[in-house]
Amino acid sequence: MRPARPLTAAVALAAVAALGGCGGVRGGPGGPGLGDPYFPRAGNGGYDVRHYGLDLAYDPSAARLKGTAVITARATRDLSAFNLDLKGLRVEEVTVQDRPARWNRAGQELTVRPADDLDRDTVFRVTVRYSGRPETVTDPDGSEEGWLPTADGAVGLGEPTGSMAWYPGNHHPSDKAAYDIAVTVPEGLGVVSNGEPAGTSTRDGRTTSRWRVTEPMASHVATVAIGRWRVLRSTTADGLPVHTAVDPEQEAASRAVLARLPEIVEWGREVFGPYPFASTGVIVDRPGDSGYALETQNRPYFPGAPDLSTLVHELAHQWYGNSVTPRSWRDMWLNEGFATYAEWLWAEDHGGATAEETFRARYDGARSDGDAEAARAVWAFPPAEPGSAAHISDSPVYQRGAMVLHRVRRTVGDDGAFRALLRGWAAAHRHGNADTAAFTAYVERTVPGKDFTEVWDDWLYGEGRPPAP
């Protein structure tokens, strides 16, 4: 599915208004999944989302969410019906083009039958009103995502499929869209989300915060974080807005590392190319509110004060993972291998171990925590073939993925050319999607005359520990 173009709410609604009615064709149903190799039911066929308008209200004391999702999409075939992903929650009403639509539920599938068939290339609007207690979803690897209640609110985390626990949509990384998000909570709480703040208002003891995302965003990096925040707004040296929200209990512990955020973004610009979004920042919640950091778009989420290397890792994802997004979940190493290698490059550029030294340590099994079993686990499977959904976040995807990039660097043989390759990859697929085959073809096309066969055969796709380079 092609990347969606950025589309503001006003443009989206104007496009729909211009259409009038549609009908008179004999369409077929859209697919209930996109056939992802590891999450085959994720996403849906037959349409391409352009814009999500989410209007949410959350009551932390009852852990209840009430939402209206207005989804603007383009039909990619003649449609008599189409599916949305929505896990749990009670659907109250569905309309298509402002007309009541029939619908039914089966697991995570919400099947919608509009009053009239939708012609191919029609831009249409579906509105879903829903409510209930959103679920915390357990991944195949045992981690939790979806909607996570926290000590003073809640946070929505979506990788890989948890966003369907708090809003309906086409929940697969291959379908990216613009967003407008409004969240209403009891007065005294704040809401942080993706993109840029678009206003806050308080009435009758309830505060509504609005956020706007104009660049395409995959649903798994969308977030809503509700709580009590110390909100800091600043700019980098060249004027990029920085919006940072920190739980007051984490403010002191976070201060020193967050002060380096502008420096990391500037370094990333030099190494990876232009920063891909209109703002940056972070969200720092309390330890234990979730079990992991996540590269949520514009402002990564951290459970507790991050260390420097983790901050570098999650900010590098803004280029590799959020702007250049994997076409399927099998291509996860294109996220995590790149972000891990960014940690190696940062250390090399700031007086730490060289990337070659880090590579050798990983290859030899030396780890700073002395965990021999974890060191051996790096060779459990090739990074481009995790094998199942349970393994897309395992160490071969991260560490061996980074080793692939280091072997590419050594084969290129010139640091300037290698860093140009990193910048070129980010530019070639900016705000789009790519897979492993596209990356290997890009490398071979960008550096002609070099033989990457060993890198691909032994390091990217090979089983076990390759021979020592």
* pLDDT for residue 23: 42
Q: What is the pLDDT, as a whole number, of residue 264?
A: 98
How far apart, in whole angstroms, are the C-alpha atoms of residue 245 and residue 281?
8
Average pLDDT over residues 46-71: 98
Residue 26 or 141, more confident? 141
Q: How many angstroms separate the CA atoms of 147 and 143, rounded?
A: 13
Q: What's residue 160's pLDDT? A: 97
Tens-digit pLDDT profile for residues 175-199: 999 999 999 999 999 999 999 999 9
Q: What is the CA radius of gyration of the chain?
A: 22
Q: What separation in angstroms does the CA of 66 have from each of 42, 49, 59, 220, 227?
A: 23, 22, 9, 20, 17
Is pLDDT above 60 for 1? no
Mean pLDDT over residues 130-135, rounded?
98
pLDDT mean across residues, the chain:
94
Query: What is the tens place of the pLDDT at every residue in 342-358?
Result: 999 999 999 999 999 99
Give 3-47 pLDDT, tens digit per residue.
Answer: 333 333 333 333 333 333 344 457 999 999 999 999 999 999 999
* The two structure tokens encoding residue 435: 């897979």
Single-letter code of the amino acid located at 426: A
Q: Is residue 285's pLDDT more than 50?
A: yes
At 367, the pLDDT band (50, 70, 90 cuts) reads low
Whether the ω angle into residue 276 lies within 30 degrees of 0, i.e. cis, is no
d(CA 58, CA 454): 53
Whether the pLDDT of residue 276 is over 80: the answer is yes
Residue 202 has pLDDT above 60, yes or no: yes
Stretch 366-380: mean pLDDT: 80
pLDDT at position 15 is 36
Mean pLDDT for the stretch of residues 232-247: 96
DSSP string, 140-164: TTS-EEEEEEETTEEEEE-TTTGGG
Q: What is the pLDDT of residue 25?
A: 54
